Amino acid sequence: MTLTADDVKKIAHLARLGINQQNIASYTKDLSGMLQLMTQMSETNTDGVLPMAHPMDQTQRLRADEVTENNNRNNFQAIAPQIEDGLYLVPKVIE
């Protein structure tokens, strides 16, 4: 399995990742190399094997429904790139 430069551009857009035009070729090569590694997996029979999402065979703990967090807006917005009237500003959202 190898990727094309177009594939890489498509994936990069999905991930909203700006990539310089001149680097596309090297990403294409690296990703194709990684996919080459993956072929070993497809050669392995995994019929009847359950996918393992977590190392521990445990179930989710449930939290009590209590308000434990107070307003901390000033601290959180002190590290924000652009704010006004308590809102985070972004280029206009068009719906």
Partner 1 sequence: MGHHQEHEWETVIGLEIHTQLATQSKIFSGAATAYGAEPNTQACAVDLGLPGVLPVLNGQAVSMAVKFGLAIEAEIAPHSVFARKNYFYPDLPKGYQISQFELPIVGKGHLDIDVDGTTKRIGITRAHLEEDAGKSLHESFHGMSGIDLNRAGTPLLEIVSEPEMRSAKEAVAYMRKIHELVRYLGICDGNMQEGSFRCDANVSVRPKGQEEFGTRAEIKNINSFKFVEKAINHEVERQIELIENGGKVVQETRLYDANKDETRSMRSKEEANDYRYFPDPDLLPVHISEEFKEQIKGQLPELPDAKKLRFKGQYQLDDENAVILTASRQLADYFEALVKESTCEAKLCANWITGDLVAVLNKADLDITQSPVNYQRLAGLLLRISDDTISGKIAKQVFEAMWNSTATADDIIAEKGLKQITDTGAIEAIIDKIIADNPDQVEQYLSGKDKVFGFFVGQVMKDMQGKANPAEVNKMLKIKLK
Partner 2 sequence: MHTKSIKELAEGLRSGEFSSVELTQSFLTRIKQHQSLNCFISVTEDLALHAAKQADGRIAKGDTSLLTGIPIAQKDIFCTQGVKTTCGSKMLDNFVAPYNATVVEKLNAAGAVMLGKLNMDEFAMGSSNETSYYGAVRNPWQTDSVPGGSSGGSAAAVAARLAVCATGTDTGGSIRQPAAHCGITGLKPTYGRVSRYGMIAYASSLDQGGPMARSAADCAVLLQTMAGFDGKDSTSVDLPVPDYQAGLNANLNGLKIGLPKEFFGDGLNSNVAAVIELAIKEYQKLGATVKEVSMPNLKLAIPAYYVIAPAECSANLSRFDGVRFGYRCANPQDLTDLYTRSRGEGFGKEVKRRILMGTYALSAGYYDAYYIKAQKIRRLISEDFKKSLADVDVIMGPVTPSTAFGIGEKIGNPIEMYLSDIYTIAINLAGLPAMSIPAGFAEGKPVGLQVIGNYFAEDKLLNIAHQYQQATDWHQQIPKGFE
Query: Which residues lie near partner 2 (CB under 8 A)?
Result: 3, 7-8, 11-20, 23, 27, 30-31, 33-34, 36-38, 40-42, 44, 46, 49-56, 58, 60-61, 63, 72, 75-76, 78-82, 88, 90-94
Reading the block at residue 47, the tokens are 């019929």
Among 22, 44, 71, 81, binds partner 1 (CB under 8 A): 71
H or E segment to which residue 75 belongs: helix 73-77
Among the candidate windows 1-9, 12-20, 22-30, 37-45, which touches partner 1 by CB under 8 A?
A: 12-20
Contact code string over 17-56 relative to partner 1, x by CB under 8 A: ------------------------------------xx-x
How many angstroms separate the CA atoms of 81 and 67, rounded? 28
28, 12 contact by CB (below 8 A): no
CA distance 86 to 79: 13
| Phi and psi at residue 20, to the nearest 5° | -65, 140
Residue 23 or 76 having the CB closest to partner 1? 76
